[in-house]
């Protein structure tokens, strides 16, 4: 499981529409709205590749001005497990 946290900034007046579009994406949950335009959300995906695919769809949503990845946690992702074992060697 890959869990990522984002802050998105939206165009004033389009925040609700952006949230509706985000909720259509798998694994996306909006947690907080700040000042009517800043969204705090998480994205949960089974793999790094799937997380990337879903995150790329943020770019297609009309009304998003800025996308900031705040953190990513790789839990049991096979690609990351392999990478970790290579680094240890």
Higher pLDDT, 42 or 86: 42
From the list 20, 53, 26, 52, the residue with the least C-alpha distance to 39 is 20
What's the CATH class of domain 2-88? alpha beta
Distance (Å, whole) CA 22 – CA 17: 9
Domain ranges of the chain: 2-88
Residue 8 CB neighbours (<10 A)? 22
Sheet containing 28-34: order of strands: 28-34, 38-45, 2-10, 64-74
Q: What is the pLDDT of residues 7-58, one digit of tens each?
A: 999 999 999 999 999 999 999 999 999 999 999 999 999 999 999 999 999 9
Does the predicted TM-score (pTM) go above 0.85?
Answer: no
74 pLDDT tier (thresholds 50, 70, 90):
confident
From the list 36, 32, 30, 28, the residue with the least C-alpha distance to 11 is 36
């Amino acid at each position: 499981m890959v869990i990522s946290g984002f802050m998105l900034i939206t165009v004033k007046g389009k925040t609700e529409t952006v949230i509706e579009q985000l909720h259509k994406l798998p694994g996306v949950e909006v947690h907080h709205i700040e000042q009517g335009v800043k969204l705090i959300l998480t994205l949960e995906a089974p793999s790094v590749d799937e997380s990337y695919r879903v995150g790329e769809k943020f770019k297609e949503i009309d009304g998003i001005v800025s996308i900031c990845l705040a953190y990513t946690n790789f839990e049991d992702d096979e690609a990351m497990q392999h990478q970790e074992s290579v680094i240890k060697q």
